[in-house]
């Protein structure tokens, strides 16, 4: 049984779905591995490194024509054309953005797993690509803010005078937000954080940050540990209360997302106008409209004297570690899918395991994923 690793075709993507480390592990399971020529180049993994790990180097068509195809992003129609009936593909599928991907995969007879659908249970933590990539994104977002901000993060006392510590506000205390808090604290900043879920207060404070607390009249805690959309009245009150707080910030790292919905507006134009010249907003929700209406996706712009960063793929800026984490997640998932009997590797019944059953979006020529209304 062969595993194929094609080059990611999405513009700006530098990650790869397998590393030499995970190729060795896949080989130890009894699987053969074919890596497309230069698939790891963007992540600084050479063909020679893959070859030494036991992989065959080949072309795109052979990689996509493998029994199991591992990818970062959902396959494009031109890639699906090269997949074979009965094959399996594992990737993030972007299910919040409806298109023909699932129907095309089903039409080809490809069994597809959407990694963002892996349930958040203890046994699945080692396969949680959303958490592993969000950790990297939260870290890299703070570094981007530090690059854009023209001052020190920590308090500095020198013979030429002293500099006050930077005031950082982090909006959203999910995986990315908590990592952003920890990174900003390590750099010496004064950090405050806000989240609509009151239960994250302890986590925020344990990292040395101040918890910004408002009485909105309702909780924003949703299913599976995610935030839910607030009522219109609560959203309006939240914006009003946040505006005065955000005007005091030197840097805002905004991470607030609601699954499959536009990002909530937390940073109003009024708040931006009240920030001092040279302040920075890193809007990690830029891909879904932004937590600030002034953000422009994949651009860094200056408005009202404030620098707004709208990078939408922070993990791609740290491709080696991002690929290493992602590839380990995928390997752990593959171990659930296969078994070895009398020296032969075969697929298990996907529906017998909660993890594989929950993330299986096409199966035996049919689309299983049902969009939540």
Catalytic annotation, residues: 120, 125, 128, 131, 226
Q: Would you say 173 and 204 are in contact if contact means Cβ atoms under 8 Å apart?
A: yes
Q: Which two tokens stand for residue 289?
A: 């409209």
CB 42 within 8 A of CB 14: yes
List Cα–Cα distances, 308 to 144, 213, 235, 275, in angstroms: 11, 25, 22, 12
| Ordered alpha helix ranges (H), 218-306 | 232-246, 269-274
**Helices vs strands, H then E, count in the chain:** 12, 19
- Crossing angle for the helix pair 175-186 and 129-148, nearest 10 degrees? 40
Q: What pairs with residue 111 in β-bridges?
A: 88
C-beta separation of 90 from 329 below 8 A? no
| Euclidean distance between the first and the last CA atom of the chain, given in angstroms as a whole number | 38
Q: Which of 234, 334, 366, 345 has its CA nearest to residue 17?
A: 334
């Amino acid at each position: 049984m062969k595993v194929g690793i094609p080059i990611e075709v999405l513009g700006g993507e530098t990650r790869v779905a397998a590393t030499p480390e995970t190729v060795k592990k896949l080989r130890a399971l009894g699987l053969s591995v074919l890596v497309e020529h230069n698939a790891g180049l963007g992540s600084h993994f050479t063909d020679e490194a893959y070859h030494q790990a036991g992989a065959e180097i080949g072309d795109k068509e052979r990689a996509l024509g493998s029994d199991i195809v591992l990818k970062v992003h959902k396959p494009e129609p031109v890639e699906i054309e090269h997949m074979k009936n009965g094959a399996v593909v594992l990737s993030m599928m972007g299910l919040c953005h409806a298109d023909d991907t699932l129907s095309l995969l089903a039409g080809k007879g490809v069994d597809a797993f959407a990694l963002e659908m892996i349930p958040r249970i203890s046994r699945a933590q080692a396969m949680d690509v959303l958490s592993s990539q969000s950790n990297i994104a939260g870290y890299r977002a703070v570094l981007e803010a530090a690059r854009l901000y023209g001052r020190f993060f920590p308090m500095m006392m020198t013979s030429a005078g002293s500099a006050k510590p930077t005031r950082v506000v982090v909006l959203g205390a999910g995986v990315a937000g908590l990592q952003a808090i920890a990174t900003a604290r390590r750099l010496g900043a004064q950090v405050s954080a806000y989240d609509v879920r009151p239960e994250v207060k302890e986590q925020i404070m344990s990292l040395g940050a101040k918890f910004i607390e408002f009485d909105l009249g309702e909780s924003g805690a949703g299913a599976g540990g995610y935030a839910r959309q607030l009522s219109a009245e609560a959203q309006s009150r939240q914006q009003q209360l946040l505006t005065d707080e955000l005007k005091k910030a030197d840097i805002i790292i905004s991470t607030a997302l609601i699954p499959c919905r536009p990002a909530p507006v937390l940073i109003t134009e009024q708040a931006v106008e009240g920030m001092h010249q040279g302040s920075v907003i890193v809007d990690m929700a830029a891909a879904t409209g932004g937590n600030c209406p002034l953000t422009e996706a994949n651009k860094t712009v200056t408005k009202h004297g404030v620098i707004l960063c709208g990078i939408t793929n922070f993990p791609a800026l740290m491709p080696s570690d991002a690929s290493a984490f992602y590839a380990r997640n995928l390997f752990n998932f593959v171990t659930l899918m296969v078994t070895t009997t009398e020296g032969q590797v075969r697929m298990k019944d996907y529906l017998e395991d909660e993890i594989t059953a929950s993330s299986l979006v096409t199966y035996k020529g049919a689309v299983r994923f049902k969009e939540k209304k």
